[in-house]
Chains A and B, each alone.
Chain A
Amino acid sequence: MLHINHYYQPDSLEEAWQLRQKRGSAVLGGTGWLRLGEHTIQHAIDLSGLNLDYIQEKDDHFLIGAMTTLRELELCQPLDQVFDGAFAEAVGHIVGVQFRNCATLGGSVYGRFGFSDLLTLLLALDAEVHLYKEGWVSIERFAVRSQEADILTEIRIRKNREIAYLSERLNANDFPVCAVAVSKGKDGWRCTIGARPCRAKLVRLPEDTEGCDEFAIRKIAKKAAAAVSYGGGMRGGPAYRQAVAEVLIRRGIQALNAKGGQA
């Protein structure tokens, strides 16, 4: 059951932040998972009126507002072109179109859910999260923290990485058994393993991953998959998830190396 004692639609981020300082407050995202537990929210803060629904393409980065829906991310052509379809691949399997029309980027990222496809993707892209009072925070730092009484306003994603996103699901629109994103940029290779089913974690891949042969890629993938811990659950045990992660990392590296070969 969900109980909301007070509901606010603030007119400014400052007002939203002031409300967020109250005990028992919560910012509403898409509200899709709210019914899954017993929740009493003393002060529900709805950011719908703050124009945080946008995807802006700049010269070297994208700025995406917190209230942008997953469906908008899925259909955004500039994102699709720059990141070779990785956004559509990451969010396009989440429940269904109707759900993705409601679920928001801010809600998905702020929740730091263990099953999150989006957090897995954004970690590999070295994105940054903007919090109203704190300012810009790297998503790597943000992902490991506990929830703060601030307002997530937007996310910045630089265009300087190539990325491959892969996940394994038992059913088409189920949570992933394991999700992996592999990216490469001038500062090296990054790999994130999500849906472990704990929060996505970043693993750095060796410099010489570029242009590796099949045997070396297998070794790198095995080592990367073993670098994080896995939990069990109805979708798979730890050993199974690790085995899936290893395969997905290998395929991710192969996909990026193949792209390099084409260039």
Chain B
Amino acid sequence: MNKTVTFILNGKKVSREIPCDLFLLEALREMGCKSVKRGCETSACGLCTVWVDETPVLSCTTLAVRVDGKRVTTLEGLQDEARVIGGYLADEGGEQCGFCSPGLIMNILSMEKAFPHLNPTEAEIRHYLEGNLCRCSGYESHIRAVTNYFAAKRAECAAGKEETK
């Protein structure tokens, strides 16, 4: 059985007729969003992370029919933000094979909404990113990169507030 699904993908309205058992991962990759990586396909690794209505979810086990009427965001829609975080990861040696990076960056960006004061502790960062597996880095470089990223964001905010005074 097929169903017509209409949703906003990275700011643009799209409409497709898709099989009911198609997972969002496949649908998005067929639509050209190759940042959405196929990893474990069993809800374990976080490589396929996308946002549905600004909430990070695993596209490998989300049925594509369920995003009807919603907003879906992939890394293709967050290029500028991704480039900044990619820089912090590279600075700390956190970009190795890079396969986990799109899912990781999507989840780091969603942390900004979860921690509006931009001050997560190291324990909170580790807990929030627990669902993003990486076989290269051992995670320490990721944690340093995320810590530095949030420190820079806080400094940026503080400077902005000073300017408006």
Contact = CB atoms under 8 A, between A and B. Distances in A.
Q: A and B: partners?
A: yes
B20 A7 contact: yes
Interface stretch (A56-64, A91-99, A145-153, A210-218): A91-99
A36 B132 CA distance: 19
A133 interface: no
Contacts of B131: 95-99, 173
Interface stretch (A27-35, A111-119, A232-240): A27-35
A76 interface: no
Given A7-B3, A44-B20, A102-B62, A33 B43 contact: yes
A102 to B, nearest CB: 5
A4 B56 CA distance: 25
Contacts of B43: 32-33, 35, 95, 99, 102
A61 B138 CA distance: 44
A111 to B, nearest CB: 14
Contacts of A102: 43, 57-58, 61-62
Given A35-B41, A98-B58, A2 B21 contact: yes
Interface in B17-63: 19-21, 23, 41-44, 46, 49, 55-58, 60-63
Contact of B57 (A2, A46, A101): A101
A173 B58 CA distance: 15
B127 interface: yes
A46 B46 CA distance: 24
Contacts of A92: 127
Question: Which of B42, B61, B107 has most A Cβ within 10 Å?
Answer: B61
Interface residues of B, number: 31
A101 to B, nearest CB: 5
Most buried by B among A31, A101, A172: A101
Interface in A22-51: 28, 30-36, 44, 46, 48
A78 B41 CA distance: 35
25 contacts: A4-B1, A4-B19, A4-B20, A7-B1, A7-B20, A7-B63, A28-B63, A30-B61, A31-B61, A31-B62, A33-B61, A34-B61, A35-B41, A35-B60, A44-B20, A48-B66, A92-B127, A93-B130, A95-B43, A98-B56, A98-B107, A99-B43, A102-B61, A173-B130, A173-B131
Interface of A: 2-7, 28, 30-36, 44, 46, 48, 92-93, 95-99, 101-102, 172-173
